[in-house]
Every structure is written in C-alpha cells, then in structure tokens.
Structure 1
C-alpha cells in the first residue's frame, strides 16, 4: 500500500532576507495572535518590524538561516529508510517553504493509497499541531487531494519516544557529573511557552509537556536528580506559563546548583535551542552564578528517536487504537476526532 507520511514543523527562514516575511507569516496566524484579522495583520507587521534587527542577528549566528528544514529532511530520509516498503515522507512547514499548499500537490501527484499526518510536535497545542493540520486540510481541499487520512498525534507519552529522550538526558547528566563531581544537578525541562489564556481555554499543551517530562524523568538512570518544568520564548506582554526558563536559571544560581537544560518540546535544533538556550541562556547562567550549564541534545535524526517515530507510524493500522497518547482525543481540538 502506497503510504504518504507528511511531517509537519514550523519552518524557518532560509536567508536573512526571509526573516521578516517568515515572522510576518508566524504572527499573522490566528492561532498565534488571537485577534480580529485586521488587528492581527497590523500587529504581525509591527512585531516583525520592531524586532527585525535582533532576529536577523540571531539567524546570522546560525549561518544566516534556520537549520530546521535541513534537519527535518534528515529525519524524513531516516524515517523513510526505517519504514521501507511503499512509504514516502513529505515535509510541510507552517510559516516558510515548503508550504502545505505546495506539498499537497506533490502528494496528490504521487497518488498514495493513504496519507498519515505526523506533526513533529510531541505535545499537542492549537498553536502548533492544530494550526499545521488546519493549514493542511485547507491545502488538501484546494489541491483536490482526497485520500484516506489518519492523524498521528499526540505522541507526548509514547514509551519509545520517552525512552529515547531519556538517553539524551542521561548523556547530559553524565557530562555534568564528570565535569562537576561535587555539584548538585537540577534538570530543567524547557518547553516553548504559551499565554496562560490559551491553556485556560482548553489547550492541553501544558498537561502534555508535564506528562512528557514525568515520563522521561521516570526513565533516567539517576532517579534522585532534581527536575523542574519551565517555559521559554515569551513573545507577548500577556501572562505566560510559569516558571520561565530564565527564572529557573536565576533560581539555580541562588541555589548554587548546576543545570541540565532539556528542550522537551522540540525534536530538532533551531533558533530556540542554538541561540536562546545555547547562547543567551548560557550567558545568563554565567551572570546568575549557576555552577554549570549543560544542554541535552535535541533528537534530530537520532536513531532511537527515528525508530520511535517509525513505531508510531507502524501502529496506525491497529484497530481501535488511539494514534496519540493518553490525553489524545480528550480535548475539543484534537485532530484525531476529525480524521
């Protein structure tokens, strides 16, 4: 059976010239800025223009573009190889090329027997998975792509994914212990933040982030290590989920502990790991007196992670099986309900 597996992620600018239009696309999304359309488009351009120079400087630190598409291509190639048979992986990005509208036409031309939609966001949020899948449905309808389709989310507590992630955290903890044998270590599970209002409206993201962190923590070799879930990348003046990663790092300085930061909501390196965590937050840790700052690797094309994704795909035919985790299907926006 010819099976198209569509991988979703946010995308990122492929040049410094693309930074501003990418950010306009991002902040124009009604799932991100929840305001009337005329206000949202005005705000999107205002935000993009006001922080354009800083954003361009940050992308310059990564060679002038986001590495996200290249890393997702590596994930797609590795997953396709593990799946074998008649599986073909496609990549649809939300805010920059390749857009869903173009990928839907490519999938139609390949003419699969079925389509599996696999968001590369472990935890469901209306701002990520929900937005990407809504975008895909519109694109598929416009392309005339009508094939049996299954959505594979949310996989935040998939045992193989959590086990693969725990190995990466163990690796970072071992590095910290080797370099600082007499220093207490605290694991900071850092996820992209959300305004509290979105969570209070029913978004399950926070609950799923906490469930992922708990599942990973339970699989660590050192069960005595301290841990904390925190949230990064605040972008608006609203009240966001707390504690912030910045506050958690500052507290670690006051407590005289070392930190192992785990990008728990990201499975690929991009600006929020390579710049925010590795440069900005590392600098902050030094100023705050943190005893040591270590960062667990993102999954990228880690073989155990790819095997976990392949397992999620291979179970898509199981009768009566929820394709997501234990919380999947329990919220009104769950795309499983609409598949």
Structure 2
C-alpha cells in the first residue's frame, strides 16, 4: 500500500471502558475513594458524598488491602484489559480498510479518562467508538463511564464524531464465548445432572433497578441465551448476585444463599462469572477463595469455576463486531 493510500485511510479510535483497579496496596484507599465519590454509586450531593466517600474508603481500605494481598498486592485488571485491547486492535486491522487504534479508559484508577482523552487527541482520529467492557448496561458502570468521558472530552476540546456501544448482552459471539468456556469444564464432568450451574453477576442495590436500570434484566437475558445455546445438558441453572456492600437491600438471590442451598440439595456447583469479562478481586478472591470455602462448609462436594472471558477468541470477535457494526443476536 502506498503512502498516499495509507494517508487516506480513516483513523478510528476505539476506547475500551472498564472499572480499573489499584496498582499497589498504597493505591487501594484512593481507588475506593474514587469509587464511592462517584454520584452514580452514592447518589447524594456534595459535600456529603465527599465526606461519605472519605469515611467509607478509610474503613474499607484495610479489608480491601487484604483482598489484594491474595492476588499479588494489586489488581490484574489493567494488564488483562491491555491484552484485550491489543487482541481487538489486531482483529480490527485485519481488513486494512481503516486504521484502528485501541485505548483504555478506567473509571476509578489509572488510566483515567482525562489521560486517555489526551492520547486519543494525539492519535487524531476521524471518529471514535466508545466500547464498554460491561456487556450488560447499568448507570453505575457504562453510564458513569460515558458521563465522565464526555465531560473530559469536552474540557479537552476533543470534538470528533463518536459512536457509543451501549450494551451487548445477547450478542451471538459473546454468548458463544461463554458457551465454549462452560463446555470446556463440562467435558471433564461425569453425571452433570448432579451439578447446578450458578451464573454469578455483580449485584446492585434494588433501588437502582426499581429506578429503571436494565442491568438485572439484561443479565438474565444473557443467562437464558447461554442456556439455549448450550442445549440439553441435564444441568439446572440459577442467576444470582455477589459482592453486596452497605446496608441497602440488594437484588437477589445472592450467590452465598444459592451456594448454601446447593449444599442442602446435595448439588455440586459450576460457577460462571457472567457479567465480568476479566479476572479481578471479585473472581480471584471472592469466587475462587471465599465462596469456595463457603461451599465446602455448606457441604458442596465439587466446586468448579469457569474462567472469565478475557481474550477468548469468540469474545474478541464479539467486540470487533460491535465496532464494525456486524453484530448478531441469538
């Protein structure tokens, strides 16, 4: 391809949104402050929200540091998101029709959206695609990230045609990625009728859902689509929710209660992190360590955990289809 042809190629910046995570034990407390100071998380006005964020982050930091000590003294989320960004960029550039560059924007720790806005400006895109790594939409995740990005982009004078990928809970290749990982685990299991499939998603306060947030409905749509694609397995399945914090009533059933019920019913468990696309504290500690120990005490004989999607080829294909506009639903 000549230099003239290359210069005529459309330049597209793809911005991957994710939560972010502390990159050291020292970063745990400020990370938590950023999380709880988000008006999408604590819906009270400042200065009260700022005060509550300071109080909660100070109280939770010692406990949270112990969690991160279990997984190498930091969150692995950034490195995994970088792997996903590289895989997606390679996939998008295979056609050669446009020049795609993938960027990462984290909500509560580096790289923050203002840092990423500057990198995108330096790239000089003809258009931007905002792609959340949250398959199911919530105002507390995708919604918060979009608001923050728009503020920082406007402040920096980044005015480029922008496409927003809002959600993809039943995208055909996204579902296929989950199915492939579940089947990998099922291949090593005899008598699947003795197992129960638990789809575990991060929970939300019930008031968020009652206010119209589609997250719970979309999580359930994802689970139903996975079961349909899996076909006849003999497995029962339940959608449940983990990671409850604070005094508010949360959506349910809770993952802990379903693990306890499985023990009472003498069922083994296959756990699927259905709303997480990367491994982090909620999977590597909560699911792999804390809930496994809870399952043993509850009498669950076999506890199998399906990995998060990460760079599973069907998932990367799914992300590429979102960007290219060739997505399919089941």
- TM tier relative to shorter chain: over 0.9
| Mapped contact 2:194–2:267 kept (Cα < 8 A) | yes
Other-structure match for 1:296? 306
CA distance in 2, matches of 1:18, 1:119: 23
| Mapped contact 1:154–1:325 kept (Cα < 8 A) | no
Q: Does 1:117 align with 2:130?
A: yes
CA distance in 1, matches of 2:186, 2:258: 17
Gaps of 5+ in 1: 317-322, 327-339
Quote the offset at 1:182 in angstroms.
7.5
- Residues 19-66 of structure 1, C-alpha deviation per residue, up to 9 Å, x if partnerless? 000000001100001112222111111111112111101101110100
- Residues 38-97 of structure 1, C-alpha deviation per residue, up to 9 Å, x if partnerless? 221111111111121111011011101000000000000000001113000000000000
| Mapped contact 2:24–2:74 kept (Cα < 8 A) | yes
- In the TM superposition, 1:9-20 aligns within 5 A as 9-20=18-29
- Residues 86-115 of structure 1, C-alpha deviation per residue, up to 9 Å, x if partnerless? 000000000000000110111011110000
SS at match of 1:66: coil
CA distance in 2, matches of 1:121, 1:61: 25
Quote the offset at 1:173 in angstroms.
2.7
CA distance in 1, matches of 2:198, 2:210: 24
Other-structure match for 2:4? none
Other-structure match for 1:255? 265
Query: C-alpha root-mean-square deviation of aligned residues, in Å?
Result: 1.5
For these two proteins, the number of residue pairs brought into alignment is 317
1:169 to 182, 187, 209: 182
1:33 to 42, 64, 69: 42
- In the TM superposition, 1:1-339 aligns within 5 A as 1-84=10-93, 85=96, 86-175=99-188, 177-178=189-190, 181=191, 184-315=194-325
